[in-house]
Amino acid sequence: MDKKVREKKFSAFCRKFLLAFIDVVLFFASNVALVYLTNGGQIEGIGYSNELLFNYTHAIITACGVIIINWVMGLYRSVWSFAGIDETVRCAVAAVLDTAFLFAVDRVIFPKFFSTINKIGFYAYLFEIVLVMFCIAFLRIGYRVIRRSLGEIDNKFIKRSTKKRVMIVGAGFMGNFVIEEMRKTDYKIGVPICLIDDNPAKKGKRLNGVKIVGNCEQIPLIVKTRRIDTIIICVPSASKLRQREILDICLKTSAQVKISPSMTEFLESPNSGKKIRDVEISDLISRQEVKLDKKVCRYLIGETVLVLGGGGSIGSEICNQVARYNPKCIVIFDIYENCAFELQNELKNKYADIIDINVRIGSVRDIERIREVFREFRPGVVFHAAAHKHVPLMEDSPCEAVKNNVLGTYNVACVSAEFKAKKMVILSTDKAVNPTNVMGATKRITEIIIQYMNQKYPETVFAAVRFGNVLGSHGSVVPIFKQKIAQGGPVCVTHPDITRYFMTIPEAAQLVCQAGGLANGGEVFVLDMGEPVKIMDLAKNLIKLSGFEVDEIGIKIVGLRPGEKLYEELAMESEISTRKKTSNNKIFVTMPEEISDESFNEMLEKLNTVNSDNVREVLKSIVPNYHPAEN
């Protein structure tokens, strides 16, 4: 056994032994007090004192009984720092049982085996219960009271120190936990100066020695008057909208802003030191993250799942989400080996004993390579996340977008149908709706391909999922903003009024998995994305979160890039009237369109003849609502 573990166990044993010894001493003291109070202030010369109270045998028997009873009641397993109502109830029950045992020793055991005749009255034992209860409970509850009082004194002295001054928003369980963590770590994070809570009944009261001084609307004033350096938001039970409102108020101050985890994160995280974190960009989205129905994903159990583009930001998260449903095998297919290799190691560390994890390198442009992978693994479920997604780059290399996004998707769909895969789900984008760029137009064509393949090959269910911008993905604007801030600015925004829909990577991956379970064939699934976010506001908030003022870093308007538009749409006008909600009211589905063999074959012929001169003309002939954005 490790030496430190042995030392901790020995230390715990010593604490329990000491507590048991103190319980026995206090129990004996309560007996002495009882005799004193019930005999007119006399102790010596009383028959009960001579025969029982100061009898060694009597003392040993009662001491053993008290320790056993208190042990059974769990009084030596409790945490003194959090002693409360439950502890008080245990103490009360233990006091009754201890007194009952004393009564049995006095009235039954000693008269029968030691022929004692002296005793105290029945009423005295009722009084004994109160005395024992006071002694046992005071020892435990008193510790917490004294510790809290000392904490208040400690705060008064430590507030004058050079450590960071901290305001905690939320005088509940999480706020109390954060104060405890700060004390345990010797105030490395900072010193709790005050608490904020919107409940007016709490104002003026103290939580763990820290005073509640106002509500959230008063945060800017209190930060200024109390010279607060750091604000920690501890309201995990509040709605996402309310959390965002509080965050907006805090960002208007000069203080650094941090946030406590959600209750789920709090319970799952084994490392208490990582509970308090910096505010993340996902915290700036006012809508609640969509929680999807896990039952829908049961189709993944025991399946062989192929994820094309599995090494990318979304593809890797799809692999992680799929792994939770205990598939037989996960095949990661990607052209870039480094990310795929890292993901394979990550998944093997978690699931090596239960899931077969494989990586195959290749391109979706190579249909023979795709066939090799299908022939080797025979996947039942295919998630296609391989694509060129950067809008400006695809404007400069439009033919590559066609080859990879369109023809690559067609290759995967053909092989999926050839090997009779049960399901194939592709990732599309909101830029496919009334596209103004090559990337969006190619993605709209992939939706058409999926709908055609679904009606042509009914043995495989084909579906598409339409995303907004995914926070933290390789194509997201957030990493670009962070890089600019790190370089000292300015942050470049294309237009002051530009807006985008945002979702998190886990949301995107869950939506893909859900689509596979909900799909009947040919549908395009769209997540309810809430209200769009202004990119200008996003840039300002990122600057504030990085510890700077907007004027320090600066924001530069550079004009819309080629193919970029001011706002994105989630559905075309023709789809809005026919789209429906699924069993999850946050997921919409557009019904498949009928596509003739003739028109589809004509489309393929056009795509196979694209070159740098005619590519946009070909795309417009296939997607009539494709038109360049105004620049």
**What is the pLDDT, as a whole number, of residue 320?**
92
**What is the pLDDT, as a whole number, of residue 129?**
80
DSSP 106-130: IIIIHHHHT-------HHHHHHHHH
**What is the pLDDT, as a whole number, of residue 631?**
44
* Residue 285 pLDDT level (bands cut at 50, 70, 90): low
Q: Per-residue pLDDT for 379 more than 90?
A: yes
Q: Check: CB of residue 231 under 8 Å from CB of residue 242.
A: no
- Fill in the DSSP letter of residue 53: I
**What is the pLDDT, as a whole number, of residue 153?**
45
Mean pLDDT of all residues belonging to the chain: 81
- Encoding tokens for residue 50? 């001579």
**What is the pLDDT, as a whole number, of residue 573?**
59
Quote the percentage of the chain above a pLDDT of 70.
81
Q: Which residue did the predictor score with more confidence, 167 or 570?
A: 167
Question: Looking at the chain, which residues constitute the CATH 3.40.50.720 domain(s)?
Answer: 160-279, 294-472+504-534+570-622
CATH topology of domain 294-472+504-534+570-622: Rossmann fold (3.40.50)
- Note the pLDDT tens digit of each residue in 327-336: 999 999 999 9
Please give the Cα distance from 619 to 606 (Å, whole number).
9
Q: Per-residue pLDDT for 398 more than 80?
A: yes
| Phi/psi at 232 (5° precision) | -115, 115
> Using CB atoms within 10 A of its CB, is residue 329 exposed (0-12), middle (13-18) or buried (19+)?
middle
Q: Find the catalytic residue in 258, 403, 431, 565.
A: 431
| pTM greater than the 0.85 cutoff | no
Q: Check: CB of residue 163 under 8 Å from CB of residue 130.
A: no
Q: Check: CB of residue 196 under 8 Å from CB of residue 219.
A: yes
* Residue 263 pLDDT level (bands cut at 50, 70, 90): low
**What is the pLDDT, as a whole number, of residue 421?**
95
**What is the pLDDT, as a whole number, of residue 88?**
72
What's the 3-state SS for 472-522? CCCCCHHHHHHHHHHCCCCEEECCCCCEECEEEHHHHHHHHHHHHHHCCCC
* Residue 272 pLDDT level (bands cut at 50, 70, 90): very low
Q: What is the CATH number of domain 160-279?
A: 3.40.50.720
Please give the Cα distance from 153 to 167 (Å, whole number).
18
Q: Per-residue pLDDT for 570 more than 70?
A: no
- Note the pLDDT tens digit of each residue in 94-121: 888 888 888 888 777 877 777 676 667 6
Q: Per-residue pLDDT for 215 more than 60?
A: yes
- Of the given ranges (84-98, 132-146, 315-329, 444-458), which has the lowest mean pLDDT? 132-146
Mean local confidence (pLDDT), 349-354: 87
556 is catalytic: no
Q: Per-residue pLDDT for 4 more than 70?
A: no
**What is the pLDDT, as a whole number, of residue 303?**
95
**What is the pLDDT, as a whole number, of residue 580?**
67
